[in-house]
Amino acid sequence: MTFEQNKLPCSYFTEKKSLLLENGTSIDELTVAYESYGKLNKNKTNAIIVCHALSGDQFVASKNPITEKDGWWDRMVGSGKPIDTDKYFIICANVLGGCIGSTGPTSINPNTNEAYGLSFPVITISDMVNAQLRLINNLGIEKLLSVIGGSMGGMQVLEWAASYPEKLFSAIPIATSSRHTAQNIAFHELGRQAIMADPEWNGGNYIKLGTSPTKGLSIARMTAHVTYLSETSLTKKFGRRLQDKEEVSFGFDADFQIESYLRHQGLTFVDRFDANSYLYITRAMDYFDLEKTHEKTLTEIFEKTKTRFLIASFTGDWLYPPSENLMIVRALSAGGVDVSFVNIESDKGHDAFLLDEPEFDGAMRGFLDSVSKEMNI
């Protein structure tokens, strides 16, 4: 990481009240770094939380001060866009355990005055949601118009709807799953092992020792990045094309464009992400299993909830495929819940939810319009 995370240009909410975690321990002081867009109306009924994915951050629709690139969902959130900042008040918070300003393993433990490192408690998706709940309570928001998120963001949405149905009018989980499958866990384990095998990781103590496990973290990112794409999108974008050469080198340089691309993805990631944070957040996702945590079936969890759902999946997504999303849809239908489901034709893999998919935009806009009409916004 090459930035000071408590000095980023965004809002910070800090509370010196302990946050009880799912693993039984607690955090004594909570900081949530967040961005907000649009205006909260007088009755505070137009607030939407957008939950970010594993490598995301709070800069959903504004220039990212670390990468200087557009916000990660700039095409979806903004003035006149499907999640319209002219109509809604949109909050996006860096997750608990993250490294972009919210309390996480790089934060200073107030009890020791040193960075937490691996002494940071293992957090879960539900802990992330509880941190967000503290934030909206602080903002005086009683009920959210919607909670929206893809991938890990979608898991937070499901957790919000399962734990606090009275707090949300609608929920939009996208390209997600109600529990991590063996394949999902397997890919995360590859990433974690790459980080922990880097000698500069130093048992997680690298901040104190002044080292930086960039090699491990970049390999973790390279592995994960492949899971966000699809064979079709890789073939279209790179095929077997060579990088700046006519013939293969008979060596181990980045001969192929795909190799060069992945290396670049890995290298740029380490500038904006922390290795321990990557371990913690992937773990939170692996532990995610809504039925197990709530000790009920999916149908029982959501039975007769008043929350309206829009679920979206993408045909080319093999990480959180349509079948996983459809399982949630079926459980909701069986529970008599008002649910919509769109499965968008796309060959762009898991990342499709972040990319240009006009049919998905139409569904998002139509759904939000209809819930906001019901709420008289």
Q: How big is the site for another protein, counted in residues (CB under 8 A)?
A: 25
342 binds another protein (CB under 8 A): yes
| Among 3-11, 213-221, 288-296, 341-349, the segment contacting another protein (CB under 8 A) | 341-349
270 binds another protein (CB under 8 A): no
Among 205, 347, 369, 377, binds another protein (CB under 8 A): 369
Among 171, 329, 352, 354, binds another protein (CB under 8 A): 329
Cα-to-chain-centroid distance, residue 187: 16
333 binds another protein (CB under 8 A): yes
308 binds another protein (CB under 8 A): yes
Q: Which residues have C-beta within 8 Å of that of residue 321, sequence separation ≥ 6?
A: 313
359 binds another protein (CB under 8 A): yes
362 binds another protein (CB under 8 A): yes
Residues 199, 27, 66, 353, Cα dihedral to 10°: 100
Question: Contact letters (x/-) for another protein, 7-36, by CB under 8 A?
Answer: ------------------------------
Q: Which residues have C-beta within 8 Å of that of residue 97, sequence separation ≥ 6?
A: 103, 104, 105, 120, 123, 127, 128, 277, 280, 281, 284
Residue 38 CB, shortest distance to another protein, in Å, is 20
Q: Identify which of residues 272 and 365 has a Cβ nearer to another protein in the complex.
A: 365
CA atoms within 13 A on the CB side of 80: 0
Task: Cite the active site residues.
Answer: 151, 317, 350
Inter-residue contact 220 to 201 (CB < 8 Å): no
| H helices present in the chain, as ranges | 125-138, 152-163, 182-197, 206-209, 214-228, 231-237, 257-272, 275-287, 290-294, 298-302, 322-334, 358-374
Residue 174 CB, shortest distance to another protein, in Å, is 13
Residues that bind another protein (CB under 8 A): 308, 310, 329-330, 333-336, 338-345, 359, 362-363, 365-367, 369-370, 373
